[in-house]
Every structure is written in structure tokens, then in C-alpha cells.
A and B are shown apart, each in its own frame.
Chain A
Amino acid sequence: GAGVSQSPRYKVAKRGQDVALRCDPISGHVSLFWYQQALGQGPEFLTYFQNEAQLDKSGLPSDRFFAERPEGSVSTLKIQRTQQEDSAVYLCASSFREGTYEQYFGPGTRLTVT
């Protein structure tokens, strides 16, 4: 596809379950970003990859959050032992060159932890 895709679009998890959220960036895009958007709030930065290297993970809220991009394309955000406060929309964005500048966002994955 032409844009950033994310799957699943919706995920319901019971508290304590592990979840994995997938992001397919635009082909050839070097940079990939994850954001967390709580209800009624703006997106908040989680982590940044340049190719397969995770250059910034300062926004990850706890050690239960883990992201990877092993081959420099598809990325997975994993949340272990989910908590209710993890309920949010998780947005992925990609950029064709190093750094942020013009980021193209995916539709997001809405995670609900019950």
C-alpha cells in the first residue's frame, strides 16, 4: 500500500495479557516512530528507529513496553502485562529520511485493556 499501515486496528486485552502491535511503514522510509495517544490528548512520543537501530526510547513509559524493527522495515510494539492505563491509541509514523520533518502517520491501533 501507499501509506503506513497498522494492525490490528482494534485490540481488547485483559489486564495482565501481553499484546503486540504491528506497523508497516511506507516502503523505503528510513525513520519510524511510535506514539501513544490517550483519549482527548495529543500523541506522545514513545520511541524512534533509524533503520533497525532504536536511537531513542526515552518515551517508553515503563519496562513493560518494548519495540523492535529487526530488518529496518516492519516494527512491532510489545506491551507486557498490560494495565488499564495502557488503554490508548498507538500511532506509528514513518519518514523518508533521517530525523522527523514530514512524518506520515498510520491509522493507529486502539488498545483497550479491561
Chain B
Amino acid sequence: AQKVTQAQTEISVVEKEDVTLDCVYETRDTTYYLFWYKQPPSGELVFLIRRNSFDEQNEISGRYSWNFQKSTSSFNFTITASQVVDSAVYFCALLWTGNQFYFGTGTSLTVIP
């Protein structure tokens, strides 16, 4: 079975703090893709990153970084020096084959000024 778990339902941090959003996935396939999406209050899902199962290199994009570890089936997302504009719900998603995304239940991040 395919499954994505985001154990953190809500997180609050003070502006400029670093925050890590956890994502644990389950799949029997050796080929799969992992994604992170941001959903601001406007409701539109914004693509942040895609990784395939054969590429375990961590990635950094500005204040965002992602840590992919197959050994622990985790794909965690860190925001450095958080800003109020980072407040949103963040979803981790798994694509294993075909066209079906499996989304986690999301983590609601609130950055307090």
C-alpha cells in the first residue's frame, strides 16, 4: 500500500526561527517520486520540489532545503529563517506509478511575527 504520513498537524514558530516539516512514506515500489506542495490561504497548491527515488541528494533552494533518506523512508523539509509569508499548509505527496498522487494530511505552519 502507498501511504504518506505527516505526523505534525500544526506548527507555530516565531519569525526567523528554523522549522522542519516531517514526511514519512510507504511504498513497495523501487521507482517513485516524492513532492512537496504549499497551500496558502488562497487554496491553490504551489509546487515546491520533486525528487525521484534514485536521487538521494539533498537539495537547497534559497531558504528551503530537503532531506531525502531512503533508509528511513523520509523526505523532510526545512525552512531556514522563517518568514510570515511562509505561513501555509504544506503537503508531502508520493507518486509511485500511473497517475495517482498520494498526499499526506498536511502540516499547517504559522509563523508569528
- The reply to whether B99 and A102 contact each other, CB–CB distance below 8 Å, is no
- The reply to whether B43 and A107 contact each other, CB–CB distance below 8 Å, is yes
- Which 10 pairs between the two chains have the least Cβ-Cβ distance? A42-B103, A105-B45, A48-B99, A45-B100, A107-B44, A108-B43, A107-B43, A43-B103, A100-B99, A42-B91
Q: Given A33-B99, A45-B99, A102-B50, 10 more contacts at CB 8 Å?
A: A41-B106, A42-B93, A48-B100, A55-B99, A89-B43, A91-B45, A100-B99, A105-B45, A105-B46, A106-B44
Known contacts A105-B44, A108-B44; A45 and B101 CB within 8 A of each other: yes
Q: A53 to chain B: closest CB distance in Å?
A: 12
Bound-state Cα–Cα, A91 to B99, Å: 15
Interchain residue pairs with CB less than 8 A apart (29)? A3-B44, A31-B99, A35-B101, A40-B105, A40-B106, A42-B4, A42-B103, A42-B105, A43-B45, A43-B91, A43-B103, A44-B103, A45-B101, A48-B99, A56-B100, A89-B43, A100-B101, A101-B33, A101-B95, A102-B47, A102-B50, A103-B47, A103-B101, A104-B47, A105-B37, A105-B46, A106-B44, A107-B43, A108-B44
Q: Which residue of B lies closest to A44 (CB)?
A: B103
Interface string of B85-113 (1 = CB under 8 A from A): 00000010101001111111110000000
Q: Is A99 part of the binding interface, using a Cβ–Cβ cutoff of 8 Å?
A: yes
Q: Is B30 part of the binding interface, using a Cβ–Cβ cutoff of 8 Å?
A: no
Q: Is A61 part of the binding interface, using a Cβ–Cβ cutoff of 8 Å?
A: no
* Set of chain A residues within 8 Å of B91, measured between Cβ atoms: 42-43
* Set of chain A residues within 8 Å of B71, measured between Cβ atoms: none
Q: Is B61 part of the binding interface, using a Cβ–Cβ cutoff of 8 Å?
A: no
Q: Which residue of B lies closest to A59 (CB)?
A: B100
* Set of chain B residues within 8 Å of A100, measured between Cβ atoms: 95, 99, 101
Using CB atoms and an 8 Å cutoff, list the residues of chain B in contact with chain A.
4, 33, 37, 42-47, 50, 91, 93, 95, 98-106
Q: A6 to chain B: closest CB distance in Å?
A: 10
* Set of chain A residues within 8 Å of B37, measured between Cβ atoms: 105
Bound-state Cα–Cα, A43 to B89, Å: 12
